[in-house]
Amino acid sequence: MLLYKVTRSAILCAVALMALPLLASARPKATNPQVEKQSIVLDAPATLNGTTLKPGKYEVVIDGNQVKFEQDGQTVVQAPCDWKTMPFKSQYDSTTYSAQHVLQELEFEGSNKALEVM
């Protein structure tokens, strides 16, 4: 009878220890894992979605297929966007403009993805 209780207790302890990692990994997931934040510095005025962005540092918040440019905690402009994969990693942050100074693309240092803004 004593051997039965010891074996049963050992089995219950083993099951509890194996279940512990499952319980720890069952925490709630982030509400939107696609949100990404980057910083970028614009050296010249740029236009995006009809809004002129002054030169300066901006927080770029990418949420799915939307990008927001924030400065001092305020949203300056929001526009549609899409990621594209480049065959290389960017060596530095860079921006691409049209001839009319419309912001078209952002590349972030160390990433092989470029953000096309529309």
Identify whether 66 is part of a domain. Answer: yes
Please state, in angstroms and rounded to a whole number, the distance separating the CA atoms of residues 105 and 113.
10
State percent of the chain over pLDDT 90.
69
CA dist 35 → 70, 81, 93 (Å)? 14, 13, 19
- How many residues make up the chain in this entry? 118
Task: Please report whether residue 9 resides in a domain.
Answer: no
Query: With the C-alpha atoms ordered 93, 72, 47, 65, is the resulting torsion angle positive or negative?
Result: positive
In a domain, 54, yes or no: yes
With respect to residue 6, please indicate whether it lies within any of the assigned structural domains. no
Residues of the chain with pLDDT under 50: 29-30
Domain assignment of residue 47, yes or no = yes
Compute the distance between CA of residue 91 and CA of residue 88 in angstroms, rounded to an integer: 9
Half-sphere exposure of 70 (CA within 13 A, CB side): 14
What's the CA angle centered on 65, arms 60 and 70, to 5 degrees?
Answer: 20
- Domain interval for residue 88: 35-117
| pLDDT for the residue 115 | 97
Predicted pLDDT of residue 34? 74
Structural domain contains residue 16: no
Is residue 101 in some structural domain? yes
Number of separate domains in the chain: 1
Q: What is the model's pLDDT at position 24?
A: 55
